[in-house]
A and B are shown apart, each in its own frame.
Chain A
Amino acid sequence: MDTVREHLKTVLVDKFEVPADKVTLQARLTDLDLDSLAVVELYLTLQEHWNIPLDDGDANNELTVDDVARTVDGLLGADTAGHDAGPGTEQTAGPGAGPGPAHA
C-alpha cells in the first residue's frame, strides 16, 4: 500500500474511529459509517495534509477508499503550484480561485 493509501487508512482509523479491519481499498465510505458531513471532513483533512486543492463538490459516501486515494493521486501528480500553501492557509475565494470553497 502506497503513502497516500497508508495515510488515508490512518486517518479513517484514528480520526473517524473506523475499525482497521474494515478499511479496505474496495470499502465504500458509507460502509465505514461516514455520512456526508464526515466525507467533507475527510476531504478537508486530506487537503490540509497534502496541500492539494481537493474539491468535495462531487464527493459522496458511495465512493470507495480507492476512489478517494486516486483523486488524491491525481492532484498530487498534477499540482505544481499548490504545495507552497500550508495547512490553515487562507483559501482565496471567488471565480477561478480554485476548488476550495464549495460555491454552488
Chain B
Amino acid sequence: MRSEDTTAVITGIGACLPDQILDNDQVIAAGELDTSDEWIRGRTGIARRHRAAPGISTGDLATAAGGAAVRSAGIRPDFVLLATTTPDHPCPATAPAVAHRLGLGGVPAFDLAAVCSGFLYALATATAMVRSGLCAAPLVIGADTYSTIVNPRDRDTAALFGDGAGAVLLRPGSVGTPGAVHATDLGSDGGGHDLITIPSGGSRYPWGGGGSGNGSGGGWSGNEAGPGPGPGTDPASRFFHMQGRAVYRQAVGRMTDSTRRALAGAGWPPETVRAFIGHQANQRILDSVAERLAIPLQHRFGTIRQVGNTAAASIPLVMADHSTQKSLAPGERTVLTAFGGGLTWASVALTWPAAVPRSRPALPQPVPRSFPQPIPPPSTHTTTTT
C-alpha cells in the first residue's frame, strides 16, 4: 500500500474521432426518419457526430486514443483498462489486443462494461489499483462505436450517438499535483436494467433463439415475473434500445446525487468547482444536473453539439478537447459525472491535469465489416462450441 497522500494523477491524455462527420440532415436521410434538424438540436443539443468507416472497430479507435495518451505522458503503461459496450468481439476482451497493438508486451489488460458510466468506473478502478500498488501506470480508455449497435431507422436513438475514443494515463502522485484524483463515487441499480438495453445477443436471449437455457423464453431469475417469450428472433432486438423519459429522470437524479457525494468526499463545496463535465448524453440532462448543483454556465464543459453521445468515450473526449484548448488552468477543481445502462452511475472529483493531448496515430485501413447482417436461422447456432 502507498501512503494516504498518494493517489492517481492524470499525466497523459489522448483522443480519437474518426474522420467521417454526419450532420443531422444526413442521419435523417439515411434512416428516413420522421424528424428534423431543429427537433434534434432542440431535444438533444446535438448537431453532428463522427462515424467510424465500415471496418473500423472500437479496438482501432481505442488503440489510436491510447497511443496518443501514451505519447502525451511519455511513459510506458503497465496496465490497460478499456471501458466499452461495443467490444471488437463478444469474446475475447478487446483490451489485450489494444495492449498488444501498442507494443506493451504482457501487461495485464481487461475490458470493463458499465455502458456510458464505463470510463469513470475504469478511472475509479485504476485509481484504486494505483493506490494499492497493483500498478503504477494504468492506461484507461473509453471507446465505443455505437454506429454498430444503433438502428438507423429508430428515431429515438439514431441521431444521438457518435463514435470515438478517449484515454488517460495515470501515475502515482500526491493529491496536490494537477490531475490528482481526490474522490470517487460509484453506484448501480439493476432494477432499471431494461431502460437501456440491447435485448438479444447475450446468454439470456441468444440471437435467433426464443429465450435462455431450455429455449422456453423464460429463464428469468429472482422473484420478478418472467418477461414472456424471448426477443431473439426479432431483428430489432439486436439494436440498442432506450426508454428516453425514464432515462432522463434517472440520469438527472443519479448524476446529481453522485456528484454531490464525490464532492463531499473531496471536501469541495460545489461553488468551488471550476469544471463540470457530465456524460454527454443530452444537453437538457446536463443542464438539469448542473442547475441542481448550482454550477454556473461558464464552468460547464462539453462537446455534445459537435460529437453527440460517444458513450464511454464522451468524458475523456471533453477532457482532451479542453486540454487542447487550454480552457482551464492545471489544478482547477473539476468534477466528472456519468450515468449509463445497468443502471450505473459514477462521479470523480479531481484537479484539472497539466497533460496536453498529442495527435493520434493514423487509423488502420478499414476492412469490410459484416454488421448488421440478417440474423441466421437458429439451427446455425446449435452446434457452436467454445
Contact = CB atoms under 8 A, between A and B. Distances in A.
Interface of A: 35-37, 40-41, 43-44, 48, 56, 87-91, 93-95, 100-104
Given A41-B284, A88-B260, A101 B249 contact: yes
B218 interface: no
Nearest to A94: B191
Contact of B192 (A35, A41, A89, A93): A93
A93 to B, nearest CB: 4
Contact of A40 (B195, B249, B260, B292): B249
Given A37-B43, A37-B248, A40-B249, A103 B194 contact: yes
B68 interface: no
Interface in B32-50: 43
A104 to B, nearest CB: 6
A37 B245 contact: yes
Given A40-B245, A101-B249, 15 more contacts: A35-B43, A41-B288, A43-B249, A88-B257, A89-B257, A93-B192, A94-B189, A95-B191, A101-B192, A102-B195, A102-B245, A102-B250, A103-B191, A103-B195, A104-B195
Contacts of B123: none
B345 to A, nearest CB: 11
29 contacts: A36-B244, A37-B248, A40-B248, A40-B249, A41-B252, A41-B288, A44-B252, A44-B253, A56-B249, A88-B257, A88-B260, A88-B292, A93-B189, A93-B191, A94-B191, A95-B224, A100-B249, A101-B189, A101-B191, A101-B249, A101-B250, A102-B243, A102-B245, A102-B249, A103-B192, A103-B195, A104-B194, A104-B195, A104-B243
Contacts of B43: 35, 37
Contact of B246 (A91, A94, A101): A101
Nearest to B243: A104
B245 A91 contact: no
Interface string B220-251: 00001000000000000000000111101110
Contacts, number: 61
A82 to B, nearest CB: 15
B256 interface: yes
A36 B245 CA distance: 7
A17 to B, nearest CB: 13
Contacts of B245: 36-37, 40, 56, 102
B195 A37 contact: no
Chain B binding site: helix, strand, loop or mixed by DSSP? helix
A35 B252 CA distance: 17
A43 B252 CA distance: 12
Given A37-B284, A93-B192, A95-B191, A102 B246 contact: yes
Interface in B129-170: none
Contacts of A43: 249
Contact of B257 (A37, A90, A95): A90
B352 to A, nearest CB: 26
Nearest to A87: B292
Interface in B153-208: 189, 191-192, 194-195
Nearest to A43: B249
A93 B190 CA distance: 9
Interface in B288-321: 288, 292
Contacts of A37: 43, 244-245, 248, 284
Task: Give 4 closest A-B pairs by Cβ, nearest first.
Answer: A102-B246, A93-B189, A94-B191, A93-B191
B246 A104 contact: yes
Contacts of B257: 88-90
Nearest to B246: A102
Contacts of A89: 257
A101 B189 CA distance: 10
Nearest to B189: A93
Contact of A88 (B195, B224, B256): B256
Contacts of A94: 189, 191
B375 to A, nearest CB: 25
Contacts of A91: 253
A75 B282 CA distance: 30
A87 B291 CA distance: 13
B325 to A, nearest CB: 30
Contacts of A102: 195, 243, 245-246, 249-250
